[in-house]
Structure 1
Amino acid sequence: MKIFFATSNKAKVEWAQAALKKYGLEVVQLEMELVESRHEDPAEIALEKAQQAYALIKKPLMVEDGGFFIEALNGFPMTHVKFSLKTVGMSGIMKLLKGEKNRKAEWRMTVALVLSNKKHRTFTFVDRGEIAKRVRPVKRKCMSDYWRIYIPKMIPNDLALSEISGEDIRRWDRYYNSHNQYQKMGQWLSKNK
């Protein structure tokens, strides 16, 4: 089955292709301009955009959206990751959290799949962790500056996502690749063809 992925992010397409290949799914990148709402829930944004794209091409497709949620800041920045980095910045986030004991945070990544006007579904991966006490160095390619302050729960040694390497990165990759939003979608499609 061929599924179009409405995104300009080539890395997302490559991750989806790698994850969905074993389910017999061919993922094809489709670059198109879509209106993005200001919702705070990545699932709502992804589904709205997927329905927009489906209305244009009338073929099975998916759209991904995500957000970063810091519990002590009432979930901020939520789906406004780029905006928050541009306006408040890393130093502003760290100032807001100064002296805060609650360091809980999570990434939520959702894929919305639209197969027809009436058949659609969302698949969400949630990665829980905490915020570091200081901005950490970058030792690998990062998808977001927030990786410099986010410590995943399942990684030992109190390392931020930007710092992990060696066996820790392999452990993280195995975990992510077996639990992510693409896997959830592939599993659902294999049972609901």
Structure 2
Amino acid sequence: MRNQRAFDELRPIKYELNYLVNPQGSVFIQCGNTKVICTAMIEDKVPYFLKGKGTGWLSCEYSMIPGSTKSRKVRDISRGKIDGRNQEIQRLIGRSLRASLDLKKIADKTIWIDCDVISADGGTRTASINGAYIALYLAIDKALKEGIIEENPIKSSIAAISVGIVNGKKLLDLDYKEDFSADVDLNLVMNNKLEIIEIQGTSENEPMDKRDLYDLIDLAEKGIKEIFKNREEVLTKREKIVLSSDNKNKILEIKDILRGLPVDLLSKSQVGLGDMEVEENFESLEENAQIKAQEIKKRVDLSVIADDTGLFVEALNGEPGVHSARYAGEHDDAANRRKLLESMKEKENRKAYFKTVISYIEKSGKEHLFQGICQGEIIREERGENGFGYDSLFLPKGFNKTFAEMTEEDKNKISHRSKALEEFRKFLEEKHS
């Protein structure tokens, strides 16, 4: 009998997401000493009986490696046929996962689930179902981002757990010793509405009373609720980042560049700081970006980013530089452009560059800086209706269109801000990998 766990206590569950490189979804799941590698891969075909039916399919294979048990487990290929227990379990996993999908949304595609048990200590089938769902979730998420499928086919999440009666006591999540000596052994699969998808169970000795069955279902439900909660934390572990701005265009641009990362971008208004203004009176973009981020960070227990941008003109000794937004005295884009053209009237050297600096403060308080530069020149008269600031006067190097003549998409591919954000993205990718 268990010594360290209460009768209604799960074994510790650990997940390692994206465990393998090649599958679209993979996870290493550990429940106590039971360990399973689960993968999900999407194939661009369906079984012959579904061809032309406008639907997809999900199939599963389950196996235990030779060293997963105390006595060597013979491989199916050596036996010349699939082990009956393996076949039963892989069918259970397949049925359970298909219950979570709208197969019409993956028309003409098959999702292959593979569950390989590397250490067996009871509950391998339920651990496989729980791990396989996560692998499926990751594969679908990747396929949606890559355009392999258009709609999310997952209609509900599922989870599974074992319960049983051992020496007259009802227990949750049986390990091998408990399972081996159980009077009643039951496996349940439920969806996130706590509706039962499948029950597998048997009374090994004496027949079971119906009241015991209801008690075991209630016990299983408690465990499955915990699994859902734990899984939600694993799959939605997203970083919230506050931007020190309410500029809608800037927010959309940053969101677009950070798309696909486990981060949520919030405007300062979304955290109740819409009226907050920070005086940018330093002589460098770095200091201005840092002070804005630091002032926001004092008020929120979240990550923060702030940026500052300037136009640096070589013939004007770097002006307007850090004072670009108020070059003409007020924050007036048209007045700033007029002053710049007047200052450049007699200048033959038209070289200039835009520079953006991003200050990022992690939730922990650690600070980082990222920068992006776009080289170009100042033309002699305004061109283009798009953009803002000095965009209609800035011709990026190697292009025949000003920023104001480019589409937002084309500008974002080469702009100073997008370059700084790409550096920021690389940092976040490493951080969240």
TM-score (ref. length: structure 2): 0.40
Find the aligned partners of 2:384 and 2:418 in 1 and give their Cα distance.
25
- Aligned-pair distance for 1:163? 2.4
Whether 2:386 is the aligned partner of 1:119: answer no
Whether 2:377 is the aligned partner of 1:149: answer no
Find the aligned partners of 1:91 and 1:6 in 2 and give their Cα distance.
29
Kindly tell me: are residues 19 and 108 of structure 1, through their superposed partners in 2, closer, same or farther at Cα, counting changes over 3 Å?
Answer: same
Find the aligned partners of 2:372 and 2:313 in 1 and give their Cα distance.
16
Unaligned 5+ segments in structure 1 are none
Which one-letter code corresponds to 1:39 in the other structure? F
Aligned length: 185
Partner of 2:314: 71
Which one-letter code corresponds to 1:142 in the other structure? G
Unaligned 5+ segments in structure 2 are 1-238
Structure possessing the higher relative contact order (Cα contacts under 8 Å, 6 or more residues apart): 1
Find the aligned partners of 1:92 and 1:7 in 2 and give their Cα distance.
26
Partner of 2:430: 191
Kindly tell me: are residues 12 and 164 of structure 1, through their superposed partners in 2, closer, same or farther at Cα, counting changes over 3 Å?
Answer: closer
- Aligned-pair distance for 1:59? 1.2
The 5 A counterparts of 1:44-123 are 44-86=287-329, 89-116=336-363, 118-123=365-370
- Aligned-pair distance for 1:120? 0.7
Whether 2:402 is the aligned partner of 1:163: answer no
Kindly tell me: are residues 186 and 173 of structure 1, through their superposed partners in 2, closer, same or farther at Cα, counting changes over 3 Å?
Answer: closer
Kindly tell me: are residues 182 and 173 of structure 1, through their superposed partners in 2, closer, same or farther at Cα, counting changes over 3 Å?
Answer: closer
Please give the root-mean-square deviation of Cα atoms over the aligned residues, in Å: 2.4
Whether 2:424 is the aligned partner of 1:181: answer no
Q: In the alignment, is the contact (CA less than 8 A) between 2:372 and 2:419 conserved in 1?
A: yes
CA deviation digits over 1:20-57, x for unaligned, max 9? 12222211112331322322322211111101110111
TM-score (ref. length: structure 1): 0.84
- Aligned-pair distance for 1:110? 1.7
- Aligned-pair distance for 1:171? 4.5
Whether 2:280 is the aligned partner of 1:37: answer yes
Kindly tell me: are residues 171 and 154 of structure 1, through their superposed partners in 2, closer, same or farther at Cα, counting changes over 3 Å?
Answer: farther
Larger Rg computed on CA atoms: 2
Which one-letter code corresponds to 2:431 in the other structure? N
Which one-letter code corresponds to 2:422 in the other structure? Q
Find the aligned partners of 2:355 and 2:261 in 1 and give their Cα distance.
23
Find the aligned partners of 1:135 and 1:100 in 2 and give their Cα distance.
14
Which one-letter code corresponds to 1:4 in the other structure? V
Which one-letter code corresponds to 1:129 in the other structure? G
Aligned to 1:56, what secondary structure does the other structure show?
A: coil
Q: In the alignment, is the contact (CA less than 8 A) between 1:20 and 1:26 conserved in 2?
A: no
Which one-letter code corresponds to 1:12 in the other structure? K
Which one-letter code corresponds to 2:337 in the other structure? M
- Aligned-pair distance for 1:118? 4.2
Aligned to 1:180, what secondary structure does the other structure show?
A: helix
- Aligned-pair distance for 1:142? 1.5
